[in-house]
C-alpha cells in the first residue's frame, strides 16, 4: 500500500509533531543508532526532529534502561509495544527483553467526573441510575483504562473498567506512525526486512485493538468460564453484558488473597504447594487441552480462594494454539526427552519461519549442544525456564521468527514456574507437568477423538471426490483455450527486483554525476565568453562543490546499505 510509505512527506501537522517528538525522545536517550540501524533514522519527519543531548559511552545494559525510559515517556502505545517486545527474546537481546519486562503499565488517575462521563456516554444512562454505589477512588489506573469498585441496584458487587478519554485516538495516531516507520525501514534496511517489521507491527496493532474493545475481553472471560465449567479449583468472574460496551466493562467482583502475598496465605492456613499445583494445572489445561490461554500471567491477575482454588482476572490478552501447533509443541517435548536434535531442528522449522540467513547445520549444532547439556540432568532437578530461554536464544541467533503465540506461551510457562517456586521453593514444574501432559496427550488420541477425526476425514475426502471431476474438466478447458494462468508470489523475487532497481538508479546517478564533473572541466578549459570572469569562477566553484557533495551522499548511500 503506497499511502503509508508516502505518509512521512504528506502527513498532517499533528502527526508530524508526534513524529518529531518520537525522534527527540530517542535522541535524548541516546538511541539514534537504533533508528539508523533499522533505516528509520533518515526518515524525513524523524530526521527533522530536534536533537537533545544524549549521554555517550553507555554500555548495552544502560542502553536497555534508556529504551525503557523512552518508551515510558512516549505513552500508552509504546509502553504496550515495549511489553510486547519483552515477550520476544527470540527477536531482541536478552538484556533488552529483561529490561522491557519492567515496564509499568500505570498512569495517573483520570478525574472521576471524566470517568462518569464516559459511562454515561456509553451506557446512555446516568451512573447514579445504574449503580447503587460507585467508589470514586480507582482500584487500578493503567495507560488504557482504570478500574472502579461499584454495586449494582440489585446488590451485586462489581468492578467497572472504563477506558481513558481520548486514548483510542492517540493509539490510532501512533499506530499510523509505526506503520509508516516500519514500511520506510523495510524499504531502506535489509535488517528490517529480515525481521519482517511490518508483519510484527500488524500483529501488535491487532493485539492492541483487541485491548481497546472491552467486549472482546468480555467474550474471552465467557470462553474461559465455559472451558472450566465443573472445574472446582478455578473461578472465572462473570460478565454483566447489560453494563458492558466497547469502552466500559462490568464484571463480577471476586474476592481472594493475592497469589503473591505468601504471608497472607500462611496466615489463612492455605497450602501453598497446593496453590502452586492448581495454578500450573490451570495454565497447562488452558494451552494444551483448550488451545486458549491467559497470556498475561503475572501475579497481579491471580487470587487465591480459602480452599486453595485459583481466581483469574483481566482477560484482555489471550493466546490461541491450533491443534497443529499443539501437536508440534508435544513433538518438541518428545524430541528433547529422546535427545534427538535432528527431529528437534525439524520441529523448530515447523514452528518458526526461517529467514534467508538461517543455517540448518549451525542450528542443529546448537541444538545438539543444548540436548547434551540437559540430557544428564534428572527430571526433578530440571527447570523449564533455562531450557526455554536457551531455545529462544538459539532462535534469536539464527533469526527464526517464531509465531507470537508460541513466544507468549513460553513466557507464560516461565512466569508460572516462577510463581510456583515463589509459593513453594521445592516445586518442580516439569516433574508435576509430565504426567498431566501425558494424560492430555492420551485424551487427544482417545478412540472417541480419533473416530471423530476419521469420520471428518472421510466426509472431507468424499466432498473432494465429488467436486474433483468438475474441477478437472474446468482445468482442462482452460488449458485447451490457452487461458490457464499460474500466479507466483515470491518475496525473494520482489526483494531482488528492488535491489536491481536501486542498482540501476545508482548507476544512472553515477553517470550523470561523472558527466557533470567532466562538463565542468571542459567549460573551465575551453569556454570564456565576454563578461565571464567576474562570475564564472564562482559558478564553476559552487557547481564543483555541489558535485562533490552529491557524490559523497551517493557513496554514503551505497556504504550504508552494504554495497547493494
| CA dist., res. 474 & res. 480, Å (int) | 10
- Higher per-residue pLDDT: 520 or 48: 520
- Higher per-residue pLDDT: 136 or 333: 136
Number of neighbours of residue 14 by Cβ within 10 angstroms? 9
Quote the cell numbers at residue 440. 492430555
pLDDT reported for residue 365 = 86
pLDDT reported for residue 54 = 44
Q: Which pLDDT band holds residue 257 (cuts at 50, 70, 90)?
A: very high
Main-chain dihedrals φ then ψ at residue 319, nearest 5 degrees = -125, 150
Q: Which pLDDT band holds residue 9 (cuts at 50, 70, 90)?
A: very low
pLDDT reported for residue 88 = 74
β-bridge mates for residue 320, sequence order: 292
Average pLDDT, the chain: 78
Q: Which pLDDT band holds residue 194 (cuts at 50, 70, 90)?
A: low
The number of C-alpha atoms within 13 Å of 512 and in the hemisphere containing its C-beta is 10
Q: Tens of pLDDT along 404-435?
A: 788 888 888 888 888 888 999 988 888 888 78
Mean pLDDT of all residues in 57-63: 56
- Of the candidates 30, 51, 31, the one whose C-alpha atom is nearest the C-alpha of residue 40 is 31
| CA dist., res. 437 & res. 145, Å (int) | 37
Q: Which pLDDT band holds residue 100 (cuts at 50, 70, 90)?
A: confident
C-alpha distances in angstroms, 506 versus 191, 455, 544, 556?
21, 61, 20, 12
Considering only CA atoms, give the Rg of the chain: 30
Q: Worst-scoring range by mean pLDDT, 211-225, 318-332, 439-453? A: 439-453
Q: Worst-scoring range by mean pLDDT, 83-87, 343-347, 500-504? A: 500-504
Run of H or E residues at 284? helix 272-284
H and E: helices and strands count for the chain:
24, 13
pLDDT reported for residue 486 = 65
Active site (annotated) includes residue 296: yes
Q: Where are the chain's structural domains? A: 2-107+169-210, 319-447, 494-560
Q: Tens of pLDDT along 320-356?
A: 888 878 877 877 776 766 677 788 787 777 765 555 5
Number of neighbours of residue 522 by Cβ within 10 angstroms? 9
pLDDT value at 53 more than 50 = no
Quote the cell numbers at residue 193. 526486512
Greatest mean pLDDT among 105-109, 117-121, 182-186 lies in: 117-121
Identify whether the C-beta of residue 257 lies closer than 8 Å to the C-beta of residue 304: yes
Region for residue 482 given its phi and psi (left: phi exceeds 0; alpha: psi -120 to 50; beta: otherwise): left
pLDDT reported for residue 493 = 58
Q: Are strands 310-312 and 234-235 parallel, antiparallel or unpaired?
A: parallel
Q: Which pLDDT band holds residue 163 (cuts at 50, 70, 90)?
A: very high
- Higher per-residue pLDDT: 166 or 199: 166
pLDDT value at 263 more than 90 = yes
- Higher per-residue pLDDT: 537 or 75: 75
β-bridge mates for residue 310, sequence order: 234, 304
Q: Tens of pLDDT along 280-307?
A: 999 989 988 899 999 888 788 899 999 9
pLDDT value at 187 more than 80 = no
Mean pLDDT of all residues in 189-194: 67
pLDDT reported for residue 325 = 82
- Higher per-residue pLDDT: 483 or 35: 483
CA quadruple 169, 171, 172, 176: dihedral sign: positive
- Higher per-residue pLDDT: 336 or 525: 336
- Higher per-residue pLDDT: 8 or 384: 384
Identify whether the C-beta of residue 189 lies closer than 8 Å to the C-beta of residue 287: no
Mean pLDDT of all residues in 463-471: 74
Mean pLDDT of all residues in 120-135: 94
Angle ∠(487,491,493) on CA atoms, nearest 5: 80
Q: Tens of pLDDT along 350-399?
A: 765 555 566 778 888 888 888 777 766 666 667 788 888 888 888 778 77
pLDDT reported for residue 252 = 96
pLDDT reported for residue 40 = 55
pLDDT reported for residue 463 = 72
Secondary structure class of 132 (helix, strand, coil) = strand
| CA dist., res. 70 & res. 409, Å (int) | 27
Run of H or E residues at 479? helix 447-481
pLDDT reported for residue 44 = 52
Q: Which pLDDT band holds residue 58 (cuts at 50, 70, 90)?
A: very low
Percent of the chain with pLDDT over 90: 25
Number of neighbours of residue 254 by Cβ within 10 angstroms? 16
pLDDT reported for residue 49 = 47
Quote the cell numbers at residue 560. 550504508
pLDDT value at 541 more than 60 = yes
pLDDT value at 142 more than 50 = yes
| CA dist., res. 446 & res. 269, Å (int) | 40
Q: Which pLDDT band holds residue 36 (cuts at 50, 70, 90)?
A: low
Greatest mean pLDDT among 85-89, 164-168, 442-446, 530-534 lies in: 164-168
Q: What is the pTM of this model?
A: 0.69
Annotated active-site residue in 90, 296, 347, 366: 296
Instruction: Match 513433538 to its residue by C-alpha cell.
Output: 331
- Of the candidates 349, 390, 385, 399, the one whose C-alpha atom is nearest the C-alpha of residue 368 is 390
pLDDT value at 59 more than 70 = no
Amino acid at each position: 500500500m503506497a499511502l503509508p510509505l508516502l505518509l512521512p512527506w504528506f502527513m498532517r501537522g499533528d502527526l508530524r509533531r508526534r513524529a518529531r517528538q518520537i525522534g527527540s525522545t530517542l535522541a535524548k536517550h541516546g538511541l539514534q543508532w537504533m533508528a539508523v540501524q533499522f533505516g528509520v533514522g533518515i526518515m524525513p519527519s524523524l530526521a527533522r526532529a530536534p536533537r537533545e543531548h544524549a549521554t555517550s559511552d553507555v554500555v548495552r545494559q544502560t542502553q536497555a534502561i534508556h529504551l525503557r525510559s523512552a518508551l515510558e515517556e512516549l505513552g500508552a502505545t509504546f509502553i504496550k509495544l515495549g511489553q510486547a517486545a519483552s515477550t520476544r527474546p527470540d527477536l531482541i537481546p536478552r538484556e533488552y527483553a529483561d529490561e522491557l519486562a519492567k515496564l509499568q503499565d500505570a498512569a495517573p488517575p483520570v478525574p472521576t467526573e471524566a470517568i462518569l462521563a464516559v459511562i454515561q456516554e456509553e451506557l446512555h444512562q446516568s451512573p447514579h441510575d445504574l449503580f447503587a454505589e460507585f467508589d470514586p477512588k480507582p482500584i487500578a489506573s493503567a495507560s488504557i483504562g482504570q478500574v472502579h469498585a461499584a454495586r449494582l441496584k440489585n446488590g451485586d458487587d462489581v468492578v467497572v473498567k472504563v477506558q481513558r478519554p481520548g486514548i483510542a485516538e492517540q493509539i490510532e495516531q501512533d499506530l499510523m506512525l509505526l506503520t509508516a516507520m516500519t514500511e520506510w525501514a523495510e524499504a531502506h534496511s535489509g535488517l528490517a526486512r529480515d525481521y519482517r517489521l511490518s508483519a510484527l507491527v500488524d500483529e501488535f496493532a491487532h493485539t492492541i485493538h483487541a485491548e481497546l474493545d472491552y467486549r472482546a475481553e468480555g467474550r474471552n472471560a465467557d470462553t474461559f468460564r465455559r472451558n472450566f465449567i465443573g472445574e472446582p479449583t478455578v473461578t472465572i468472574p462473570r460478565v454483566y453484558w447489560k453494563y458492558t460496551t466497547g469502552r466500559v466493562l462490568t464484571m463480577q467482583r471476586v474476592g481472594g488473597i493475592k497469589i503473591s502475598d505468601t504471608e497472607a496465605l500462611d496466615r489463612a492456613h492455605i497450602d501453598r504447594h497446593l496453590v502452586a499445583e492448581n495454578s500450573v494445572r490451570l495454565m497447562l489445561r488452558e494451552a494444551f487441552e483448550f488451545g486458549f490461554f491467559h497470556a498475561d500471567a503475572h501475579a497481579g491477575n491471580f487470587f487465591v480462594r480459602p480452599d486453595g482454588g485459583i481466581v483469574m482476572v483481566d482477560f484482555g490478552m489471550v493466546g490461541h494454539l491450533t491443534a497443529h501447533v499443539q501437536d508440534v509443541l508435544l513433538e518438541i517435548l518428545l524430541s528433547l526427552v529422546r535427545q534427538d536434535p535432528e527431529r528437534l531442528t525439524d520441529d523448530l522449522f515447523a514452528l518458526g519461519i526461517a529467514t534467508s540467513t538461517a543455517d540448518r547445520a549451525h542450528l542443529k549444532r546448537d541444538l545438539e549442544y543444548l540436548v547434551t547439556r540437559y540430557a544428564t540432568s534428572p527430571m526433578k532437578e530440571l527447570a523449564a525456564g533455562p531450557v526455554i530461554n536457551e531455545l529462544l536464544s538459539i532462535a534469536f541467533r539464527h533469526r527464526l521468527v517464531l509465531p507470537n503465540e508460541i513466544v507468549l506461551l513460553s513466557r507464560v510457562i516461565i512466569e508460572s514456574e516462577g510463581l510456583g517456586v515463589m509459593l513453594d521453593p521445592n516445586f518442580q514444574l516439569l516433574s508435576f507437568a509430565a504426567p498431566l501432559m501425558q494424560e492430555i496427550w492420551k485424551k487427544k488420541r482417545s478412540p472417541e477423538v480419533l473416530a471423530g477425526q476419521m469420520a471428518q476425514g472421510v466426509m472431507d475426502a468424499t466432498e473432494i471426490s465429488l467436486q474433483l471431476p468438475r474441477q478437472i474438466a474446468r482445468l482442462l478447458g482452460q488449458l485447451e483455450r490457452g487461458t490457464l494462468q499460474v500466479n507466483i508470489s515470491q518475496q525473494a523475487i520482489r526483494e531482488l527486483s528492488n535491489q536491481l532497481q536501486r542498482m540501476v538508479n545508482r548507476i544512472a546517478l553515477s553517470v550523470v554525476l561523472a558527466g557533470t564533473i567532466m562538463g565542468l572541466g571542459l567549460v573551465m578549459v575551453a569556454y570564456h565568453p565576454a563578461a565571464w570572469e567576474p562570475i564564472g569562477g564562482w559558478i564553476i566553484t559552487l557547481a564543483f562543490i555541489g558535485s562533490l557533495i552529491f557524490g559523497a551522499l551517493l557513496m554514503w548511500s551505497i556504504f550504508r546499505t552494504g554495497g547493494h
